[in-house]
Structure 1
């Protein structure tokens, strides 16, 4: 198998083992377990919490002591083993620590997979800028395939899993026939994670580069020198807005599939395609991602970084607003369109934000600045978005086991609209096509 094909397989599996459960764990917690929004919010917040420190720690380990591909494999094997235990947990407080352990293992592998790919491609004289993007796209494909497999093969529930969940054999969870809320999602992810972990040991060696000296301060080793960028008003604003947008991203990951599944509680929608194949519907969002990535160079050249980031924020307003008024019948087009605009909402800010950091920071701290950008979005933003949204939904939009999804999505819409307006007014950045020319071509 060629180097590019081997890395493509790694990228595919990297996001397959996440996509198998990330979008559907909310439905599992709410409908299979009957837990509250606050309990689920705490569980989901472990993604952000682990992102605050694990990528930096594993980066140091791979840089100084252990081959990156070996560390990557070890982390995925432990991740898979932990996921195998998830279906046996019936207490939300226990599951918090179990998922936290899984995220401690998984979240740093995202950046490690990129580093491994870069190293192997460079060592084999490939043009990284040209070759890597098509490899990375297969990661999104892996995420989509995992969602489809989870949706299709999680029902009917095997008797053994039904028994473990305390349900009567022959019944589906909460009456949601065909919905991807079964424990199978964790088994699928676990098995493939262990396979990926073993596979990674067959990849070309990526030995420590030892770019961090023993004399470096602890702050420098953790890549925290970029925090001095908060001394700049413009950069501080950018990172704060990054945190707010990171919170918005978690809202759709957390509640999108649960929202579609809950239409089963309305008799006229109970047997609709949206309820039966909610995860497949949600996968349109990831398909949209791959398409909008291709449009980014045009938009950046035509409108500039600030406008592209603003387009992303407007897309978040549409994402939530369309969900608020969509339904499986006459409003199905709104649900579909919401999934389509997700590609713009997600890609435009993440990529344009990364380019903003690349073109406005000192090369000496550029890597640290990129790490800070990810920390604010996937770390602080994800953590706060998960915790706060769970509390708000429990206390203001839930009666018994019924959630007021219309007003939940409207509140998220207003949140996104306020961010977009504030960003348009407060964030000043002049479009400089020359600054982007060497990056986007």
Structure 2
């Protein structure tokens, strides 16, 4: 079979495993009585990203071929995710048991994102393909897989139950087994690097350069926005099913279907990046991303899934997400590649990911949890959790809805402050491309 088709299948499943639960897990946790701990589940992805990709990368470089290690990691992650689903299905859900199994699962899953890229690059080079032109069309199907898994979780009703974790585990087993059929990735026979160099610590010398230090710090601040809507968009939209005057609407019952528009927008916005970078440069592109985050959160604060105007605002929030995510994440990665010495480019990318998906995601999620606990769950917890079909009284519903709006406005205000500070502090002179 054509290697591109095989790698496309790998990428499809790679992100389908994640999409099966990433945007809907918060809704299940809230219904299981763990609403105040949602932030910890999403922050754990950032925490393990601080060290697990580096550790697994060293193993793949030195001892275990990358495609086999990729398969082993997915099988281990699937087993732990099934364990989390089992403990989540018990009548009395134990936070400690569920969180432990979930943490082990993401500890094995998060390194596979980089590892799957490594396998794809190696296989393409072995097949005589140019990775720059051949990989992006393959990677797009990762987002397609994420969307398909989200929609499956939505329309099967998994988004409110532990079944979404079982679904992810089944996909993980399929991918784990499939990985062993991929082309062999050779291990390195050269003398091992120092631990500091292998972990990418050498690239932290970039912080001595004012321009790069400022860029990385703002990357962390912007990275704080990345997991907020992953963690809380679905509970926010689904929660309208329990609010007087909003219960039973199509949007509230199909939150993942609405949220999948974000990933569709992301797929399209990737194609705009080359034009915008050449025409406007990294500073303006990053500013566009930052103001898109302001709109993303602001539209959530004003929208609802039950009225025509409210749905339009939610859809607008989903559309601007593609700009908010891609213009920061992809453009930032390209900027790091262009501005760093070839000898430390891989390590520099590691620092960029560490600041965004590590520190940024972890701090942002826990910060969002604190805000939402104070403004939203303080009201629902005081009244008590409701079963499916039950509705809070009108006064409680009003406080909960107002709390959600204020929470989204807090996040929008944070994004606006970051954008203004970035515009004033980050100095960059762009020379537009002539063609």
Instruction: Give the structure-2-normalised TM-score.
Output: 0.91
CA distance in 1, matches of 2:189, 2:198: 11
CA distance in 2, matches of 1:43, 1:331: 29
Q: CA deviation at 1:138?
A: 0.1
Structure 2, unaligned runs of 5 or more: 88-92, 381-399
Contact 1:397–1:407, Cα closer than 8 Å, also in 2: no
Q: Does 1:425 align with 2:424?
A: yes
Contact 1:43–1:96, Cα closer than 8 Å, also in 2: yes
Secondary structure of 1:268's match?
Answer: coil
Q: CA deviation at 1:240?
A: 0.9
2:254 to 261, 268, 277: 277
* Correspondence for 2:26: 26
Q: Matched residue pairs, number? A: 408
* Correspondence for 1:86: 84
Contact 1:46–1:96, Cα closer than 8 Å, also in 2: no
2:145 to 142, 148, 162: 142
Q: Does 1:394 align with 2:398?
A: no
CA distance in 2, matches of 1:6, 1:36: 40
Q: CA deviation at 1:47?
A: 0.2
1:128 to 131, 134, 137: 131
2:44 to 25, 46, 54: 46
Q: Does 1:265 align with 2:242?
A: yes
CA deviation profile, 1:352-398 (whole Å, cap 9, x unmatched):
11111111111111110001000110000111112222122223443
Secondary structure of 2:205's match?
Answer: helix
C-alpha RMSD of matched pairs (Å)? 1.5
* Correspondence for 1:101: 104
CA distance in 2, matches of 1:135, 1:318: 30
Of 267-276 and 404-413, the range deviating more from structure 2: 267-276
CA distance in 2, matches of 1:209, 1:232: 32
Of 113-122 and 95-104, the range deviating more from structure 2: 95-104
Q: CA deviation at 1:433?
A: 4.4
CA distance in 2, matches of 1:64, 1:316: 41
CA distance in 2, matches of 1:40, 1:20: 17
Of 86-95 and 281-290, the range deviating more from structure 2: 86-95
Contact 2:84–2:97, Cα closer than 8 Å, also in 1: no
Q: CA deviation at 1:228?
A: 0.9
Moved over 3 A (4+): none
Q: CA deviation at 1:94?
A: 2.7
* Correspondence for 2:14: 14
CA distance in 1, matches of 2:14, 2:426: 35
2:71 to 54, 70, 73: 73
Contact 1:43–1:92, Cα closer than 8 Å, also in 2: no
CA deviation profile, 1:11-38 (whole Å, cap 9, x unmatched):
00000000000001100111x212243x
CA deviation profile, 1:180-224 (whole Å, cap 9, x unmatched):
21111111110010110000000110121345x23x321012121
Evaluate the alpha carbon distance shift between residue 109 and residue 335 of structure 1 in structure 2; reply closer, same or farther with a 3 A threshold. Answer: same
CA deviation profile, 1:238-296 (whole Å, cap 9, x unmatched):
11111111110110101011110011122332121111211000000000001000111
* Correspondence for 1:172: none
* Correspondence for 2:172: 193
* Correspondence for 1:208: 187
* Correspondence for 2:360: 381
CA distance in 2, matches of 1:210, 1:369: 24
CA distance in 2, matches of 1:62, 1:396: 45
* Correspondence for 2:286: 309
Matches within 5 A, 1:103-118: 103-118=106-121
CA deviation profile, 1:383-420 (whole Å, cap 9, x unmatched):
11122221222234433314611001000000100000
1:220 to 180, 197, 214: 197
Contact 1:322–1:334, Cα closer than 8 Å, also in 2: yes
CA distance in 2, matches of 1:188, 1:239: 36
CA distance in 2, matches of 1:335, 1:288: 13
Q: CA deviation at 1:88?
A: 2.7
Contact 1:43–1:95, Cα closer than 8 Å, also in 2: no
* Correspondence for 1:350: 329
